[in-house]
Amino acid sequence: MATITMAPAGADALLGLYKRAPVELVRGEGVELFDADGRAYLDFTSGIAVNALGYGDPGLRDAMHAAADGLIHVSNLFRTAPGEQLAARLVELSFARKVFFCNSGAEANEGAFKFARKWARTTEGAAKTDIIALRGAFHGRLFASLAATDRPTYRAPFRPLAGGVSIVERDIEDLAIVLDADTVAALVLEPVQGEGGVRVLDHGFVREVRALTRERKVALIFDEIQCGMGRTGSLFAYEQIGIEPDMLTLAKPIAGGLPMGAVLMSDQIAAAMNAGDHGTTFGGGPFVVSIALHVLERIADPSLLTHVTSEGSWVGSQLRAISDRTCRVRAIRGVGFMWGVDVGEPAGDVVARARDAGLLVLTAGDHTVRILPPLITSHDDLARGLAILEQVL
Ligand SMILES: Cc1ncc(COP(=O)(O)O)c(C=O)c1O
């Protein structure tokens, strides 16, 4: 008789990669989560920028039920309507002319790096392969995306990282030295660095980067995995800067909590790619994409974007007022529904105290508390969360 090995009970069977909070979440409603004891938490994390529509959204639930009646997966060997519709809609709403779907943020960035290399090699020659990322960047945990991520503790255990990827200061003069037209294929940046401390890149700097990358024929990739899809108050963060990237990566909120990523690209980049150059089994499957179509229409709704813009600037003003009232706050940075508060103690301690007081917030580095409320959070709930934050500071 075969021996059945029982998995260890409870959390012991999970690989210990995360410092999980001692709270078991079982249910969500609106912008609140509930633990196994029925205790409510106001959620200012959105599942790390994923749950833009909060929890238990009836429209999202209906979209999931409708999608479950259709095909779940067939592979990319066949045409399916939802993927074609979503790509067309993203093209309509952005600078892009072509879209590639995948399954996560890191996978989207890895795809974009490959597309940039193929484009640069095809148009300029075999030596144009390097990828440049910026100080403070976070682009993911796979090999090339990790090499483009500026966090020593994430990188050190996995050296040697993917070659041909370097980190450069957020400084136009440094970039002018490093962006060699003969060897650099792409520069990747987050218009608002998320994990690196919620740093809104100076728009003038980004415009200079755009001019320099055009001059040197370097593909400019915007990683809008965290700051895109409405989080800054426009559908895409690049719209506020007044320039267009050559590629843009999306993930987190795109499919309402289901795993999905996307790379949006210009005609020129797309023209360098041929059938078989890249691929993925699950990417763009009809079920997940049907949900993404619903989420995109909801987030692209001008009334939601106006809500994020106006309430977001109010949140900024409130955080600055809190900072004036307490010596615990060192700096405030952010835009829309994406804010970082530098504190003079380990940010994890503030996160734990906030959780005990019924508010979920995140860290972004050792001394930054990060808030990423669902985009649907009302004025009153924002005020309630900020009051708790002030109290725990
Ligand atoms: C800006 C940015 N890029 C890439 C990623 C990686 O996304 P994923 O965790 O889906 O691989 C993240 C995740 O936090 C991110 O914030």
**Tens-digit pLDDT profile for residues 51-83:** 999 999 999 999 999 999 999 999 999 999 999
Identify the residue whose C-alpha is closest to ligand 1 atom 8: 105
Query: Which atom of ligand 1 has the smallest separation from the CA of 193?
Result: 1
Distance 326 CA to ligand 1 centre (A): 32
Q: Is the pLDDT of residue 2 over 50?
A: no
Say if ligand 1 is within 6 A of residue 193 CB.
Answer: no
> Ligand 1 pocket check: which of 46, 102, 138 to mutate, most ligand atoms within 8 Å of Cβ?
138
- CA separation for the pair 227, 253 (Å, rounded): 10
Q: Looking at ligand 1, which atom is closest to the CA of residue 109?
A: 4
Question: Which residue's CA lies nearest to atom 7 of ligand 1?
Answer: 105
The predicted structure's pLDDT at residue 11: 72
Going from the Cα of 17 to the center of ligand 1, the distance in angstroms, rounded, reads 16
pLDDT (tens digit per residue) in 357-388: 999 999 999 999 999 999 999 999 999 999 99
pLDDT for the residue numbered 262 = 99
User: What domains does the chain contain, in order, with CATH numbers?
Assistant: 10-56+302-392 (3.90.1150.10), 70-300 (3.40.640.10)
Distance CA 193, CA 133 (A): 11
pLDDT at 127 exceeding the cut of 90: yes
Q: Sorting pLDDT into bands at 50, 70 and 90, what band is 8?
A: low
Question: Tell me, what's the pLDDT at 9?
Answer: 57
Q: Is 223 in the pocket of ligand 1 (CB under 6 A)?
A: yes
With 0-12 CB in 10 A as exposed, 13-18 as middle and 19+ as buried, what is 130?
Answer: buried
Q: Is the CB of 106 under 6 A from ligand 1?
A: yes
**What pLDDT digit, counting tens, does each position of 310-351 carry?**
999 999 999 999 999 998 999 999 999 999 999 999 999 999
Q: Is 249 in the pocket of ligand 1 (CB under 6 A)?
A: no
Residue to probe by mutation, ligand 1, list 17, 151, 252, most atoms within 8 Å of CB: 252
For the residues 161-173, what does the mean pLDDT come to? 98
Tell me the average pLDDT of the chain.
96
Ligand 1 closest atom vs CA 259: 10
Write out pLDDT tens, residues 141-158.
Answer: 999 999 999 999 999 999
Q: What is the pTM of this model?
A: 0.97
Q: Is the pLDDT of residue 294 over 50?
A: yes
Decide if pLDDT at 6 tops 80: no
CB-ligand 1 contact for 196 (6 Å cutoff): no
**pLDDT for residue 1 is more than 60:** no
**pLDDT-above-70 percentage for the chain:** 97
210 CA → ligand 1 middle, Å: 23
- pLDDT at position 12, please? 87
Q: CB–CB of 208/171 below 8 Å?
A: no
Radius of gyration of the chain (CA): 21
The mean per-residue pLDDT over the stretch 33-41 comes to: 98
**Nearest C-alpha to atom 16 of ligand 1 is from which residue?**
226
Q: Encode burial over 230-250: b for 16+ CB neighbours within 10 A, e otherwise.
A: bbbbbbbbbbbbebbbbbbbb
Q: Is the pLDDT of residue 4 over 60?
A: no
Give the pLDDT band of residue 5 (cuts 50, 70, 90): very low
